[in-house]
Structure 1
């Protein structure tokens, strides 16, 4: 079995400032050939069985992944509905405040009109009383 190793080094002949300007890392890749006795004893049939197990695990995890994706999508839809409800709630609260202000204005206007009407009504009674107390022009 082959393994890859990576080694890095910096040139020691360059000064720190030159290294900082260049910012280049020198890399070396090495291949190490290592035969593991335990790995070399696997037969093709054993490898096929291991691969089959891995594939079955992959299928199970794939199904679980798909179900979780559907669950996430459903939760995002619910979240979207709640955000719409929050927006509607905020809209209704603003509209409610506007209507309360309008109601307050109309109450004040109603009070003013009521007081004006009562003043007019008192004026009319006084006028009728004055007219009733006068002598007629033809009465001598």
Structure 2
């Protein structure tokens, strides 16, 4: 029963993916048709101006991408530093837990020795 449900589910996913691809294709065709209509109504100078605007937008986005990549590198460096500090804290924590256990046992031994001494 479970395998049948999984097969049905995967088939429905595949069909929805196919539908999405067809939908995207249709949108592309519509966009191309609209672009052809716009291009036929524009002069060469207007097309050149639109191209220049698009290129300026491209340049701005490219600069933003470069700055975001630098930010990512900086954040990755900070993440590594924090990871190293965390490792050091974990090591210290382990050492303190061991020391605490030793002191707890020593305290129990001293308490029992004191009670024996008091009773004796």
1:17-32 equivalences under 5 Å are: none
Alpha-carbon distance in 1 for matches of 2:97, 2:66: 46
Query: Could you tell me which of 97, 100, 106 is aligned with 1:120?
Result: 100
Specify which structure has the higher proportion of helix: 2
Alpha-carbon distance in 2 for matches of 1:69, 1:89: 30
Unpaired segments ≥5 residues, structure 1: 1-62
Match of 1:88 in 2: 68
Query: Could you tell me which of 73, 77, 84 is aligned with 1:97?
Result: 77
Aligned-pair CA distance for 1:119: 0.9
Aligned-pair CA distance for 1:69: 2.1
The alignment yields a C-alpha RMSD, in angstroms, of: 2.1
Match of 1:75 in 2: 55
Q: Deviations over 1:54-93 (max 9, x none)?
A: xxxxxxxxx2122112112112202211220221121121
2:85 is the alignment partner of 1:108: no
Query: Could you tell me which of 109, 112, 116 is aligned with 1:132?
Result: 112
Deviation beyond 6 Å, 4+ runs, structure 1: none
TM-score, normalised on structure 2? 0.55
Alpha-carbon distance in 1 for matches of 2:49, 2:91: 62
Higher RCO (CA-CA < 8 Å; seq separation 6+): 1
2:45 is the alignment partner of 1:65: yes
Unpaired segments ≥5 residues, structure 2: 1-42
Alpha-carbon distance in 1 for matches of 2:88, 2:82: 10
Specify which structure has the higher proportion of strand: 1
